[in-house]
Amino acid sequence: MSSETIKPSIWAFANPTRFMGFANKAIPVLVIITFLLLAVGLWLSFIAPEDYQQGYTVLIMFIHVPAAWLAMMTYSVMSISAIGTIVWRHPLADVSLRSAAPLGAMFTILALATGSLWGKPMWGTWWEWDARMTSVLVLLIIYLGLIALSKAFDEPSEAALPLAVMTLTGFAIIPIIKFSVDWWNTLHQPASVSRLDKPAMGPEFLYPLLIMALAYMAIFFTLHMMAMRNEILNRRIRTMKMSAARKQSVTIPNEGAT
Amino acid sequence: MTALLKREILLSIRAGGSALTGVLFFLAVVSVFPFAVGPDTKLLSHLAPAILWIGALLASLLGLDRLFAQEREDGSLDMLVMQSHPLALTIFVKALAHWIMTGLPLVLATPLFGVMLNLSPLGIGATMITLLAGTPAISFIGAVGAAVSVKLPRGGMLISVLVLPLVIPVLIFGVAAITGALEDPAPFTAPFLFVCAITLFTSVLGPLAASIMLRHSAD
Amino acid sequence: MFGEHAGFIIPSYIISFCAISGMAIFIMAQYKSRKQELKRLEEAGVKRRASND
Amino acid sequence: MKLIIENLSLSRAGQEIVTDISFELSAGEALIVTGENGSGKSTTLRGVAGLLPLSGGSVTLLDETGKQFEGETREYCHYLGHQNGMKPALTVRENLDFWQKFCGEPDLTIEQALEEVDLAHTIDLPFSYLSAGMKRRVSIARLLVSDRPIWIVDEPTAGLDAQSSKMFTNLCQTFCKGGGILIAATHLPLGIKTEKTLEIKALR
């Protein structure tokens, strides 16, 4: 019944198998790069001087801003994967989209949590409905919605297209969210996070920030590749179990005769 | 009956995680309000109890339409109805499982949303307690709506229309209790006890009414 | 260390560390269990390629 | 044990579907209900199973001494309708385990019951992975995990191949030999010695 919807021609194991081989080699390298970048980034962050305005809370920036960037970048990766699903119906694209969503949600939650911990000493409030924070919150809702959608189908291959379409629809909303800074009246805009994005940041802050951002990217790519590997194994197990159910039922006449 | 409870909870975890969806819906409703009323912190913190209650109310209605309709579609309802257990008890357990998987996560998520709406810690505590006492009533009343519309192909909207007016008392007393906790002259205990009473009352009456409906809607 | 706001800086690092390493541990544990399940199935004689017959 | 159906009438939406059906079955007997499509076979079975309100007549279950059983007749019945009554998201074991615990009176273990229907290897697979015929066999296994003196089965072999249908008739024979009462709407010869037939003719 449901197994007939899996098309072996599309789900030919050549590509995922090649990917598995590549991932098995690439992951150790990625792990090393990640740890190196993290070590350098953290070291640079901790020797950075105290900001004259923000004091040591500037340290939060080194993990907050990369998390926020990664939250956006992950969504871009997912959108590209969605195009791969829609245009080429490539199974790896769906695997990539699915595995990226929880990571995106994690980075978004981290951006919100660290932002909240930063906002409390700076603005005196845990949460402010300013455009930037609210837009990130909406991004989180989109991520969680996509995760829920990806789990809502009994048959994962049926979820691929709906998931891809929803992801792209969500992407169309992202620029709208971005411009909401201008459209949506916010009391807090001048004191918002965007102030830190000004390029006039001193190099003593800019370099650790950039290295940390690279480290976060390395974290993402490592975890993403590992999660993709899991998802491929998941599907293999699924097809194997389904064929297991069929296979033995074919051999049953012999057993039944005894 | 514990087997039924276990099965219901297992089902809601497996089938796309209704607990996650409920909280997600709650989050979506709560974050829509500041878009509509503006980011005025004072206004939001004043409205927070109402926002949280309305969000929880709407989120609790989720999944109610599938409570019996799904059982009927796959034929399980016949077997559920045939057993020697009192049907009302079976329905009670199903409604309880619905609450555990949708209502309870909402209560647990309340502190987070309370902070976002700038609600004071006392207000958050009061909201949690009233939601804990009040949301089961929504599931129990909802069971009646679900039983009434079990045969309808698109019962979802209808259930909301039927159930929402019935749960208004819970909303009134729930929000009144929170106001009572936050502002001095208003009492907390009296409206809170009303919420508890409604929940106890509906926990008996809801399953009973639903059982009568299900007995006679068999076809 | 970290001045008057250490109570905010340290938790934010701890949260980030816990979330990322937690995610990593979860993914690695999942990989392990998947590998084991795959092995179990292969030992039970199930073919990986679903030969459509 | 004796199941007595007297003058059973059933109606749907105010329209009479079947009228004046009477039969008696003692322990070990089987009744095959036949009739054209739409003649009211399923309605009759559902009426006997207590799933439809009777518009007339009675269903009584007496024990050896002629005393009426406690409670409703439906509590002593297994009913297997057109649907399987299983949740696709749960595994075969979880599904059967639930019905065994919920129905009470455990009889065969889940492993034994699945062995009977040749599905022992699927025990830990999600129900949704199975083919239509296998799903049907799992729901037949449900009849075995709890003990009920009466089986009411509606087109039990729909979707089953010859092999599995044979398996089902064997199960029915064993059940009747053990003193069970079987009511089946089926075109399949069940090969039970104490077999009665009831042909339902469409009204109107």
- CATH code where residue D117 lies: 3.40.50.300
- Residue D147 touches chain B, beta carbons under 8 Å: no
SS3 D92: helix
Using CB atoms, which residue from D77, D88, D89 is nearest to B82?
D77
- Residue D164 touches chain A, beta carbons under 8 Å: no
Q: Which amino acid is at B197?
A: A
Q: Are strands D56-62 and D2-12 parallel, antiparallel or unpaired?
A: antiparallel
**Least confident segment among A51-60, A97-106, B136-145:** A51-60
pLDDT, residue D74, reads 85
User: Residue holding tokens 């899996």?
Assistant: A6
pTM of the model: 0.84
* D90 contacts in chain B (CB < 8 Å): 7, 10-11, 14
Distance between C23 CA and the closest CA of chain A, angstroms: 8
pLDDT, residue C53, reads 38
* B216 contacts in chain D (CB < 8 Å): 53
Q: What DSSP line would sit under A95-163, residue for residue? A: HHHHHHHHHHHHHHHHHHHHHHHHHHHHHS-S----HHHHHHHHHHHHHHHHHHHHHH-SSHHHHHHHH
Rounded Cα–Cα distance for residues B74 and B65 (Å): 15
pLDDT of A191 higher than 50: no
Residues shown for chain C: 53
pLDDT band at A49 (very low <50, low <70, confident <90, very high): confident
Average pLDDT over residues A200-208: 74
pLDDT, residue D73, reads 83
pLDDT, residue A192, reads 40
CB pairs under 8 A between B and D: 72
Is D163 in contact with A253 (Cβ distance < 8 A)?
Answer: yes
pLDDT, residue A255, reads 34
**Least confident segment among A8-12, B78-82, C18-22, D187-191:** A8-12
pLDDT of B11 higher than 80: yes
* A228 contacts in chain C (CB < 8 Å): none
* B14 contacts in chain D (CB < 8 Å): 89-90
**Least confident segment among A235-244, B207-216, D188-197:** D188-197
Residue ranges in chain D modelled with pLDDT below 70: 191, 193-194, 202-204
Average pLDDT over residues B123-138: 93
pLDDT, residue B52, reads 93
For D152, phi then psi, to 5°, come to: -120, 110
Residue D163: both structure tokens together:
């092999």
Using CB atoms, which residue from A130, A137, A185 is nearest to B31?
A137
Cβ neighbours of residue A83 under 8 Å, at least 6 residues apart? Answer: A93, A164, A168
Q: What DSSP line would sit under chain B, residue for residue? A: -HHHHHHHHHHHHHSS-HHHHHHHHHHHHHHHHHHHH-S-HHHHHHHHHHHHHHHHHHHHHTTTTHHHHHHHHTTHHHHHHHSSS-HHHHHHHHHHHHIIIIIHHHHHHHHHHHHHTT--HHHHHHHHHHHHHHHHHHHHHHHHHHHHTTT-TTHHHHHHHHHHHHHHHHHHHHHHHHHHHHSSSS-SHHHHHHHHHHHHHHHHHHHHHHHHHHHHH--
Average pLDDT over residues A118-126: 81
pLDDT, residue D204, reads 55
CA–CA distance from D110 to each of B55, B82, B86, D5 (Å)? 43, 21, 26, 33
Pick the closest to residue A160 from A82, A103, A228 (CA basis).
Answer: A82
Which residue of chain A comes nearest to B20, CA vs CA? A148
Residue A156: both structure tokens together:
């994962």
CA–CA distance from A155 to each of A2, A57, A186 (Å)? 7, 47, 44
Average pLDDT over residues A143-152: 88
For chain A, list residues whose CB is within 8 angstroms of any CB belonging to chain D.
Answer: 1-3, 154-155, 241-242, 244-246, 248-249, 252-253, 255-256
Number of domains forming the structure of chain D? 1
Which residue of chain B comes nearest to A151, CA vs CA? B16
pLDDT, residue A201, reads 63
**Quick check: D134 and A245 in contact, CB under 8 A?**
yes
**What's the gap between Cα B26 and its chain centre?**
12
Average pLDDT over residues B152-175: 86
SS3 D32: strand
Distance between A187 CA and the closest CA of chain C, angstroms: 24
pLDDT, residue A11, reads 45
Cβ neighbours of residue C40 under 8 Å, at least 6 residues apart? Answer: none
The larger pLDDT score, comparing residue B51 to residue C48, is at B51
Using CB atoms, which residue from B4, B10, B73 is nearest to D90?
B10
pLDDT, residue D41, reads 84
Interchain touch C–A (≥3 Cβ pairs closer than 8 Å): yes
pLDDT mean across residues, chain B: 88
Residue C28: both structure tokens together:
């690695």
pLDDT, residue B137, reads 94
Residue D98: both structure tokens together:
């639930």
Query: Which range has the top average pLDDT, A67-81, A161-175, B205-219?
Result: A67-81
Query: Which range has the top average pLDDT, A177-191, B116-130, D162-176?
Result: B116-130
pLDDT band at B156 (very low <50, low <70, confident <90, very high): confident
Which residues span the domain enclosing D72?
A: 2-200
pLDDT, residue A217, reads 94
pLDDT, residue D156, reads 84
Is D74 in contact with B73 (Cβ distance < 8 A)?
Answer: no
The DSSP code for A85 is: I
pLDDT of A190 higher than 50: no
Using CB atoms, which residue from A128, A134, A147 is nearest to B31?
A134
- Residue D128 touches chain A, beta carbons under 8 Å: yes
pLDDT, residue A7, reads 46
Task: Supply the angle between the helices B2-14 and B18-37 in degrees, to the nearest 10.
Answer: 60
Residues shown for chain B: 219
Residues shown for chain A: 258
Distance between A18 CA and the closest CA of chain B, angstroms: 31
pLDDT digits (tens, 9 = 90+) for D97-143: 999 999 888 888 888 888 888 888 888 888 888 888 888 999 999 99
Residue D167: both structure tokens together:
């398996």
